[in-house]
Chains A and B, each alone.
Chain A
Amino acid sequence: MPSFITNYLDKSVQMTPGQYGSPFWALVYILVVFGGVSLAVVCMNWLERKILAHMQVRLGPMRVGPHGLLQPIADALKLILKEDIVPEGADSFVFLLAPVIILLAVFSVYCVIPFGPTHAITDMNIGILFMLGVSSLGVLGIVMAGWASNSHYPLIGALRSSAQMVSYEIAMGLAVVSAVLMTSLNDTGTGTLSMIDIVKAQNAQHIWFVFKFFPLGLIAFFIFAVAMVAETNRAPFDLPEAESELTAGFHTEYSGLRWSLFMLGEYAAMIAVSSIAITLWLGGWMRPFPNALNGATWDLAFSLFPALTFFGLAAMTFYSTMRMPKHAFFRVQTIGLGAFGAVFALIGLILLVPPVRDRVQDVYWFVAKIAVFLYLYIWYRGTFPRYRFDQLMKVGWKVLLPMGIGVLMLTGVVGLRTEIWDFLQRLVHV
């Protein structure tokens, strides 16, 4: 094999392909991340409809495939085959560019997301700054889409969206800064903005930042958790695309493939901001209690989790297979569902093999934490009624922003408490 492939595979290389300077492996990582995120968006689409339906005592999609499992594929086919309409009077160049910009902004963010200590496309000195900056480019796409449609609903949706995103970015930034401040509590006294180093700082301090300086870390995390729902235009902050008021908001005039690009961008952005929250406050790729419960036995116990997850999924699928109607009409669907369960069980078995088991650890814990966040997103949507626009602005500017500043200042004070105490004592003695 050529050396540009084998060099990076050397056991002593313990860094991301971007840092190592290997374009080939960086490309491989990019493709894997892009494919994985797209697959996750497809799964999320089905899960959201199913979970929301069950929360409202409905069945959700049931017709295409067993339990509607093939519904996302059918939807994707439909969207690809639909006509791509550009409305009359629209600014066609900007109109066609807008969804591309949203997708570019969202997927650029995945460059620095650390799925493991070496499993990121690259690691930057300005990692978290890069993520916040590039994800704020997404609002440009929304504004362009709304303006270029030459229609009233999209314009109002775009106006709402830009006002909302600009407002909540500030609270979000303050919460992020208070977490970055916590990384500086080490011997050197300088913090870091690099995503990988932020997780390593949590490991070195033996605590997830959400529990650090209780309750300061928790409040900062709460601010971020609210702001990130607003940033991604999801319920209860989904005013830019409020169905009952604006039909579909900024993407009312889009159809077919371009509309699906907006959807892909929205769900990919949800995964991206969830992973920021996980990296900053919830220990990134680390398993629970990496320091308190260490040792070979605990390592083995925790390394069984990926396989157990898939066995659980397989068990649930087999249970559903048994509950399928016995009528001959459902025979194909029953067999299909059984095969689905068998695939889950097979993946679980592969994850039991020791070399695989050890290598998927980091990625598994990161993805598991993302999954919790995505479930929360769906849960919010099923639970909270939509905010009114003035209430939304009030929450952003008059609640979250002062809270963010307060938490930031208190974090600084608590972090420097020994220095401040020394300073006060010296003042007294002089």
Chain B
Amino acid sequence: MQQVAQPVATTFFFYMLSGIAVLSGVLVITRKNPVHSALALILTLLCVAGLYLMLYAPFVAGVQIILYVGGIMVLFLFVIMLVNLEHSEKEKQFNQQWLPGILAALGLGTLFVLIYVKGKNAFPALPPSLPEANNTQQVGVLLYSNYMFPFEIASLLLLVAIIGAVVMAKKRI
């Protein structure tokens, strides 16, 4: 008796994850304490990882958690902890440009609404029933066949960045 696992409350989880992501995204820019901002950003990134899972991309979700949450954000916190926070908390936040900000947000919002209204047919009516069982294997095969060249170029770019960072940070090598 083989029962295929049904997706669990897909719509509910989508709205929950995106709601938390947006809320904590707002928290990132409204908190005065940078550490609180960083923690809210971590929550956003975790919710985005959950959204990747719902898109049947477990590999991307796993990499998102390892790289962004486990690596980059830890380094963020590491740096913020060393900064004198009492000084920055008393400082006025940079909110002089609220007019251009609102205009840009409005423009982006209109764009989203337009895309949704005009291009409704471009979205599939139902979520695609993709097999998630071998997602990682497919990503690997594609990376080492069709996208071999861009993949190698990207890794070369990263190598250059690492060497550049070492050269800039160390006076005497």
> Which A residues are closer than 8 A to B by beta carbons?
7, 10, 12-13, 19-21, 23, 91, 94, 124-126, 129-130, 132-134, 136-137, 139-140, 143-144, 146-147, 155, 158-159, 162-163, 165-166, 169, 190-193
Contacts and interface: CB of A to CB of B under 8 A. Distances in A.
30 contacts: A10-B1, A13-B1, A20-B3, A21-B3, A21-B5, A125-B132, A126-B61, A126-B135, A129-B62, A129-B136, A130-B65, A133-B63, A133-B66, A133-B69, A136-B65, A136-B70, A136-B74, A137-B65, A137-B69, A137-B70, A140-B42, A140-B73, A140-B77, A143-B74, A143-B77, A147-B81, A159-B81, A163-B78, A190-B140, A190-B141
Given A143-B78, A190-B140, A130 B62 contact: yes
Interface of B: 1, 3-6, 8, 33, 35-36, 39, 42, 58-59, 61-63, 65-66, 69-71, 73-75, 77-78, 81-82, 132-137, 140-141
A159 B141 CA distance: 39
Given A140-B42, A169-B70, A133 B75 contact: no
A7 B63 CA distance: 35
A91 B77 CA distance: 15
A110 B130 CA distance: 27
A162 B61 contact: no
Contacts of B62: 126, 129-130, 133
A290 B81 CA distance: 52
B3 A136 contact: no
A109 to B, nearest CB: 12
A94 B42 CA distance: 14
Contacts, number: 97
B34 to A, nearest CB: 11
B142 to A, nearest CB: 12
Nearest to A132: B66
B6 A21 contact: yes
Nearest to B64: A133
A144 B78 CA distance: 10
Nearest to A170: B71
A7 B1 CA distance: 9
A246 B137 CA distance: 46
Contacts of B141: 190
A19 B65 contact: no
Contact of B3 (A7, A130, A134, A190): A7
B17 to A, nearest CB: 16
Given A12-B1, A137-B70, A162 B77 contact: yes
Contacts of A169: 70-71
Nearest to B33: A91
Contacts of A13: 1
A133 B77 CA distance: 17
Contacts of B69: 133, 136-137, 140
A53 B146 CA distance: 60
A193 B36 CA distance: 34
Given A21-B3, A140-B77, A190-B137, A125 B39 contact: no
A125 B60 CA distance: 12
A10 B132 CA distance: 25
B163 to A, nearest CB: 15
